Amino acid sequence: MLEWSASELSRAIHARKVAPSEVMAVHLDRVAAVNGAVNALVSRRDPDEVMAEARALDGQEPKGWLHGIPLALKDLVATRGLRTTWGSPLFADFVPAADDILAARMRAAGAVITAKTNVPEWGQGSHSFNPVFGVTRNPYDLSRSAGGSSGGAAAALAARMLWVADGSDMMGSLRNPAAFCNVYGFRPSWGLVPSDAEGDTYLSTLATEGPMARTVEDLARFLGVMAGENPEVPFPRAVPDLLTGLDAGVKGLRIGWLADWGGAYPMEPGILDLCEAALRGLEDMGAVVEVLAPPFPAEALWSSWVTLRAMLNAGGKRALAEDPVKRAQTKPETIWEIEQGMGLSAQAVYEASVIRSRWHAHAARLFSRFDAVVLPSAQVWPFPADWRWPQEIAGRTMDTYHRWMEVVVPASLIGLPALSVPVGFGPEGLPMGLQIIGRSGADARVLAIGQAWHRASGWPQRRPPPLAAG
């Protein structure tokens, strides 16, 4: 059962071939066997309590796709009655009185929430460690990072503790950990999965929540649970049919290969080679792959990105820097982000938004010629778990704590759908992924490309982590 997809598990539960209590027993046994080494699931509920909840579902008519499936939500999502910390010691004992919209939708679809998945403090940085729970380790090499900020989710999926997981992505937080852990992570078009009506909801359009899984079918079905309008927030997006054309294949599709963006994005040795081998596989399936020159100046994208990101961090987290008690318990990278934003002028924010607007227009023209463009999901292999962040890539020094993740910015800046698919393993046995990026709203097509790749490769099933035996 541990190797089943979430879709297979859901079908078995709905057909009453498997009871939710049986699924829960498997889940709890697996968590007991491997979570101590990986540290992916945190704030775990009492096993007897969740088993009782699962038994209560055994005889019930399924109320949704997730009926009876154990689920752990990212520790950036508020969960009613279950500790939510954001990885911060300031909230180490915080228990929300109400669910965020995402948690409410999971419960409504029948999920049994058993725990949270670990994150970096405040979700910042693509390495999941914090002073509350410690570091999440990569199931393929316990000395390495699982990525972040959805690192706990990716590691739990890879280690077969979960069948499907939620994540969120501002700067690659669904894509980088998926690549590091040999699973799928999908950043949907911005607005497809709505936010909660808290704080600013007009300017905050850089981050989104999305699904992670070991199959693309699971991504599509889980996204169907997550997506849908929240009338309390602006810019709603209609939910597309994500399943009907999922097996359309890639024959005749035009795919642009952006590689390292003309050398702007340094890559550790072997990453481009592995991605190019995957592209040859897509060509064998009938896709037409063309090498592209950089369509927009990388430094302009970065300038726009760091300005807008700093503006949002300063706006939403200013109190962490200004309150001496809170400041002392907040990691320096977050304080740096806030202070960068506090020093911005309105003109600087406007100019960053103009760059963003110009890139949107350029991308629209690019997607008039191509069905998708592709980039590596990460610029480095999974790095030692005791690092805070990689300080250089291929001899190039990183000038910020997040510059090593720059390859994810082109999609994030303008809210494009981007799917990280596994593409195999490097010489040291470490996983890597490839971003498949589509035009805004082309989520179904991006997933269909991923489905064709999954059917041809099946990396999560073909190369399970060493922990698979428990």
Per-domain residue ranges for the chain? 6-389+397-469
Cα–Cα dist 59/371, whole Å? 46
DSSP secondary structure code for residue 243 in this structure: S
Amino acid 468: pLDDT: 45
Amino acid code (one letter) for 280:
R
- Find the angle CA(93)-CA(95)-CA(98) to the nearest 5 degrees: 160
Residues catalogued as catalytic: 74, 149, 173
Closest by CA to 443, choosing from 181, 290, 243, is 243
Q: Which residues pair with 288 in a beta bridge?
A: 254
Amino acid 469: pLDDT: 39
Contacts of 24 (CB under 8 A, 6+ apart): 50, 51, 54, 68, 70, 112, 114
pLDDT per residue rounded down to tens, the chain (470 residues): 999 999 999 999 999 999 999 999 999 999 999 999 999 999 999 999 999 999 999 999 998 999 999 999 999 999 999 999 999 999 999 999 999 999 999 999 999 999 999 999 999 999 999 999 999 999 999 999 999 999 999 999 999 999 999 999 999 999 999 999 999 999 999 999 999 999 999 999 999 999 999 999 999 999 999 999 999 999 999 999 999 999 999 999 999 999 999 999 999 999 999 999 999 999 999 999 999 999 999 999 999 999 999 999 999 999 999 999 999 999 999 999 999 999 999 999 999 999 999 999 999 999 999 999 999 999 999 999 999 999 999 999 999 999 999 999 999 999 999 999 999 999 999 999 999 999 999 999 999 999 999 999 999 999 999 874 33
Phi–psi pair at 434, nearest 5 degrees: -125, 130
Cα–Cα dist 412/286, whole Å? 28
* CB-based burial label for 97 (10 Å; 0-12, 13-18, 19+): exposed
Amino acid 467: pLDDT: 75
| Beta carbons of 233 and 461 less than 8 angstroms apart | no
Phi–psi pair at 163, nearest 5 degrees: -95, -25
Contacts of 249 (CB under 8 A, 6+ apart): 285, 286, 448, 452
pTM over the 0.85 mark: yes
The superfamily CATH assigns to domain 6-389+397-469 is Amidase signature (AS) domain (3.90.1300.10)
